Structure 1
Amino acid sequence: MQGQDVVVKGLGPLQGDLTVPGDKSISHRAVMFGSLAKGQTRIKNFLPGQDCLSTIACFRKMGIAISQPTATEVIVQGQGLQGLQEPGDVLDVGNSGTTMRLMTGILSGQPFFSVLTGDDSIRSRPMGRVTEPLKKMGATILGRQDSKKAPLAVAGTGRPLQAIDYSTPVASAQIKSAILLAGLYGDGITTVREPHRSRDHTERMLTAFGATIRQSTNPSVEGFFSSIESFPTLQGQDIEVPGDISSAAFLLVAASIVPQSQLRIRNVGVNPTRDGIIEVLQAMGSSIQQENERIVAGEPVADLIVKSASLQGTTIGGDLIPRLIDEIPILAVAALCAQGKTVIRDAAELRVKESDRIAVLAGELRKMGATIEEHPDGMTICGFQRLQGATVESKGDHRIAMALAIAALVAEGSTTIQDAGAVDVSFPGFFSTLKLLQQ
C-alpha cells in the first residue's frame, strides 16, 4: 500500500471487540535484548511492521539467528553480550529512529567497526543528543555534521566504555536507552538523569533478562534517574508483547468522537510512562474504562472499553508530554471535535519525528477546514470544527496517516489520503480494521 491512496469516509458508529498490533517499542527491544542474551528468546505478538523488521535485519547481519515461524512470532538465538559479529555490510535501519539510536549505544561497546544509516528521514533527524554522551563514554563515532547526522560510523576498541552520570537535555526514552545499553559495556555503574520520566520499557525488560537496574523512587528529592551495572549475564526469555497503546489511541479517539460508538480493545499495554493518552482523553470527557488489569512479562496490561462522549478542550504540556508524545497527532483530531480550545505546549520534539508533525498535521488538517495555530513547541486548536473531505497527504508518516483517517470519519464527504501505506510501520491492516468496525 506504500505510495497508494486510500479513500475514507464516515459510515456510522464504530462497534466491535478487537486487539491492536503488538507494541512497537517493546517489539524492538525484545529482539535487541534477546540478541544480547544467552540462549533462546521467544517473542509472541511481535509487531511485523517495517521498523521492527529493520531491527531483525540488522541483528541478522551481525550473526544472530532469528526466525519467524509466523508473522507475529519471533525466535532469537542469543549469543550473549560479546556474541555480536562485525557486519559485512552497512546496517540499514530504514525509517526506524528507535533502531538507529538504541543500536548506536549497543555498537559503541563492540570490538568491531560498523556503519549505521537509514532513509532520507533518518539521515535528516538529529543524532547528536545520542552521540555526544556516547563519546563521553569513550565511543568513537563519526558522522555527518560533526556526528550529529547519519550515516554514523562506530569504531569499537574492545575496551570497556567509561561509566558516566549524564543528564539529558530532554526526556527521551531513545536517548536514555542508548546510554543504558552502552552502559552494559561500561566500567561500572552508568546513570542517566532526565527532566521528566520517559517511557521505561528498557529498564523493565533488561531487568527481566537479568540486568541490575536502579531507578529513582522519590523523584521530588532524587529527580528522575535510571542506573545500570555493567556486564550482566542476560538470559533468554519468553516475551508476550502487549498491544500498542499508541495504536489503540487512534481507535480510542475514533470511538470518542463518532456518535453512538463503543469499542472494547483487548490486551493493551498501559505502562504508566505511556498512558498519558488515557489521562488526557478522560480529562476531556471521554468515556474510557480499564478492565482485566494484569501484569504480562513485567508490563501492565488491560482491556479498554470506550464509548462516544462530548469532549472539552484542554491544555497539554509539561511532564505529560513524554507520556504521550506519539499520540499528539490523534489528540489534535480529538481537539477539533471538542468544545473550546486545546493548547499543546512543550512538544518541540514533534518537529524531528518521521516528519515535522506540528507543521504537517496543521497543514493537512487545514485542508479539511480546521483552524490551527502553530507554535514552535506545539499548537492551539479551535474546537467544534466542521471538517470537509479533502485530498491530504501523510508525508510518509504513519501517525499522520492514521490521524487524518480518523478525522475523515467525522468529515463531510470523502477524504483521500495519499501515501497511506505509511501506516504499515506500526499498524498493518489499519484501514481494513476501520472498515470492519463500521459494519
Structure 2
Amino acid sequence: MNQIIIKPYKLCGELVAPPSKSYSHRALIAAALCDAPSTIDNIVLSQDVRATKEALSAFGAKIHSFEKSCRIVPMPLTRPRTAIDCRESASTLRFLLPLALLVEGGCSFTGRAALIGRPLDDYVELFKAHDCIVDYDGKLPISLKGSPLQGEISISGAVSSQYISGLLFALPLSGAAATIKLTEPLQSRDYVAMTIDVLAQYGIKVESLASGWHLAAKQRYRATDYRVEGDYSNAAFWLVAATLGERIVIRGLNPNSLQGDRRIVDIINRMGGDVKASDDALIANPAQTHGIDLDISNVVDLVPVIALLAALSKGQTRLYNGARLRLKESDRIKSTVEQLRALGADIVETADGMIIRGVSALRGGIVDSCGDHRIAMMLSVAASVCQQSVTLQNAAVVAKSYPNFYEDFAALRGIYE
C-alpha cells in the first residue's frame, strides 16, 4: 500500500482504541528481564514493537506471539550473535543499548532509514565517562561493551527521555544501588513516569528525587501478567476527526493514564472542541474550534494532528518549543507544514514550531507521508474533510505504530482505494 486515494467523507462511528505502543515496548522489556514466564495481553505488534521483540529474542528471551498477546519466557541474558537490527525504532535502540553492558563482550546495534542518524550523543558521553568502549561515528551502527553501570550516573534530559528509560530498565540487573542525576531538565517526563509505572508492576521500585531517580540495591524483576492500555497518541487522530467531522466514540482508554498524550482531550476542548468522558468511553462531537498558543514540548507526537485541527480553526494558532520535532522519523515541523500547505492550509515554519492561520476548507491534492507514520495518519484524517480527493504516497508507514489504522479508518466510514 505505497499509494492510496482517499475520498472526502466525514468520519463517524465507534471503535476501541488501539493498544499503547509505548506501554507495549515497556512491558515486553520488563517481562523479558523477569525470573519466570508471564503473559502480556492486548499488545500491539507494530513494526516498532516487533523490533523490540526481536531484539529481546536476540538477547535470549523466548517470546511466543499470538493474535493480541505474547507469552514471554525469560532466559539469562546472552550476547547476540549478530548486530541487533532496531529497524526504525528509536525506542528499541535507546531502551536496550544499556543491556550491552550486561553481556560479556558487549554487542552492536544497527537500524534503518532516519534512525541511522538520530542522536545518541548523550548516551555515548555517559558510556565513555564510565570507561565503556564505544565504537560510534555519529551514525549507526554502534558497538558497546564494558561493565554494568552503577553508582551515580549523570545524563542530560534535554534531548530524549528514552535515555532515562533505558537506564532504568538495565540498572536493577547490576545488583548495586544507582542514582541517575539530570544535568539538564527532562523533556517528555511523562514517558519516564510510564517506565517507572511498568517497572513497579514487575517488582522494581524507583525513588524519584528532585533532579533524578534512585534505585536501591538487590532488586529483581518479578513476573506478572500484564494488560496494555489503549493508546492516546493514536486515539488523538480520531478525536480530531470527530471535531472536524461527525461524532466518534472511543473505548478502551484509561481515564487515569500516565500517558502524556492524554492532553489531547484538554487541547481540543481548549480550542473550543467538545470531547467528554462517559463511562468507559470518550465521546467527541463536531465543533467550530479557534486558534490558541500552545507549548508543544511535552506533546511532540500530537503536533501533526493538532496542526490539522488548527488549520481548520478560526484565527491563528502558534505552536512553539518543539525543536525536538526535527529529530523524529522526519523533520516533523517541515513535513507537517509542507504537506498541510499542499492541501491548502495557511501555515509557516518557525525555528521550534509553526504558525497556522485557519482557513474555511482544505482543497485536497497529492501529499506524501515523508516516511513518518504520524504524518501519514494526520493526512488521512485531513483527506476525510477535504473538498476533493487526496492522493497519499507512502501510506504503509502507519504500520510503524498502528498496523490496523486503515481498518479502523474504514470502520469509521473512511473511503480509500
Q: TM-score range by the shorter chain?
A: over 0.9
Instruction: Supply the AA of the counterpart residue of 1:142.
Output: D
Where 2:190 maps in the other structure, the secondary structure is: coil
Where 1:438 maps in the other structure, the secondary structure is: coil
Where 2:128 maps in the other structure, the secondary structure is: helix
The size of the alignment, in residue pairs, is 407
In the alignment, which residue of structure 2 is the partner of 1:277? 264
Instruction: Supply the AA of the counterpart residue of 1:229.
Output: A
**1:124/1:173 Cα in 2 relative to 1: closer, same or farther (>3 Å)?**
same
Where 1:63 maps in the other structure, the secondary structure is: coil
Instruction: Supply the AA of the counterpart residue of 1:18.
Output: L
Say if 2:232 and 2:259, in contact at 8 Å, map to a contact too.
no
Where 1:39 maps in the other structure, the secondary structure is: coil
Output the CA distance in 2 between the equivalents of 1:371 and 1:384: 7
In the alignment, which residue of structure 1 is the partner of 2:136? 143
The answer on 1:54 being equivalent to 2:51 is yes
Say if 1:22 and 1:45, in contact at 8 Å, map to a contact too.
yes
The answer on 1:9 being equivalent to 2:2 is no
Output the CA distance in 2 between the equivalents of 1:407 and 1:211: 43
User: TM-score normalized by structure 1?
Assistant: 0.88
The answer on 1:227 being equivalent to 2:225 is no
Output the CA distance in 2 between the equivalents of 1:418 and 1:160: 45
Output the CA distance in 2 between the equivalents of 1:429 and 1:272: 21
Q: Which deviations, in whole Å up to 9, do the C-alpha atoms of 1:258-298 show, x marking residues without a partner? A: 1xx11111112432533222221111111111234xxxxxx
The answer on 1:321 being equivalent to 2:297 is yes
* Correspondence for 2:310 among 335, 347, 355: 335
Say if 1:370 and 1:385, in contact at 8 Å, map to a contact too.
no
Q: Which deviations, in whole Å up to 9, do the C-alpha atoms of 1:332-375 show, x marking residues without a partner? A: 00101111111111101110101111111111111111111111
Where 1:88 maps in the other structure, the secondary structure is: coil
* Correspondence for 1:116 among 67, 85, 109: 109
Q: Which deviations, in whole Å up to 9, do the C-alpha atoms of 1:221-243 show, x marking residues without a partner? A: x35x3332344111111111011
Where 1:268 maps in the other structure, the secondary structure is: coil
Say if 1:30 and 1:43, in contact at 8 Å, map to a contact too.
yes
**1:139/1:212 Cα in 2 relative to 1: closer, same or farther (>3 Å)?**
farther
Say if 1:250 and 1:406, in contact at 8 Å, map to a contact too.
yes
Where 2:149 maps in the other structure, the secondary structure is: coil
Output the CA distance in 2 between the equivalents of 1:374 and 1:98: 27
In the alignment, which residue of structure 1 is the partner of 2:145? 155
In the alignment, which residue of structure 1 is the partner of 2:160? 172
* Correspondence for 1:393 among 368, 389, 400: 368
In the alignment, which residue of structure 2 is the partner of 1:236? 223
Output the CA distance in 1 between the equivalents of 2:155 and 2:97: 18
Cα shift at 1:407: 1.1
Where 1:350 maps in the other structure, the secondary structure is: helix
Say if 1:183 and 1:190, in contact at 8 Å, map to a contact too.
no
Where 1:316 maps in the other structure, the secondary structure is: strand
In the alignment, which residue of structure 2 is the partner of 1:427? 402
Cα shift at 1:60: 1.2
Cα shift at 1:46: 0.7
Where 1:274 maps in the other structure, the secondary structure is: helix
Output the CA distance in 2 between the equivalents of 1:272 and 1:326: 12
User: TM-score normalized by structure 2?
Assistant: 0.92
Cα shift at 1:51: 0.7
The correspondence of residues 30-429 of structure 1 with structure 2, limited to 5 A, is: 30-70=27-67, 72-79=68-75, 83-145=76-138, 149-156=139-146, 159-170=147-158, 172-186=160-174, 187-193=176-182, 194-195=185-186, 197-199=189-191, 200-216=193-209, 222=210, 225-258=212-245, 261-269=246-254, 270-271=257-258, 273-292=260-279, 303-317=281-295, 321-322=297-298, 324-429=299-404
Instruction: Supply the AA of the counterpart residue of 2:169.
Output: L
Where 2:307 maps in the other structure, the secondary structure is: helix
Where 1:18 maps in the other structure, the secondary structure is: strand
Output the CA distance in 2 between the equivalents of 1:172 and 1:123: 16
Structure 1: which 5+ runs fail to align? 217-221, 293-301
Output the CA distance in 2 between the equivalents of 1:195 and 1:152: 24
Q: In terms of mean alpha carbon deviation, does 427-436 or 244-253 score higher?
A: 427-436
Say if 2:77 and 2:102, in contact at 8 Å, map to a contact too.
no
Output the CA distance in 2 between the equivalents of 1:47 and 1:126: 26
Output the CA distance in 1 between the equivalents of 2:218 and 2:364: 56
Q: In terms of mean alpha carbon deviation, does 165-174 or 241-250 score higher?
A: 165-174
Output the CA distance in 2 between the equivalents of 1:133 and 1:385: 50
**1:73/1:164 Cα in 2 relative to 1: closer, same or farther (>3 Å)?**
same
Cα shift at 1:9: 2.2
Instruction: Supply the AA of the counterpart residue of 2:30.
Output: F
Output the CA distance in 2 between the equivalents of 1:181 and 1:132: 19
Q: Tell me how large the CA RMSD over aligned residues is.
A: 1.9
Output the CA distance in 2 between the equivalents of 1:233 and 1:287: 45
**1:179/1:75 Cα in 2 relative to 1: closer, same or farther (>3 Å)?**
same
Percent sequence identity is 29
Cα shift at 1:109: 3.5
Cα shift at 1:165: 4.6
Where 1:184 maps in the other structure, the secondary structure is: helix
In the alignment, which residue of structure 2 is the partner of 1:297? none
Say if 1:185 and 1:230, in contact at 8 Å, map to a contact too.
no
Say if 1:134 and 1:182, in contact at 8 Å, map to a contact too.
no
In the alignment, which residue of structure 2 is the partner of 1:27? 24
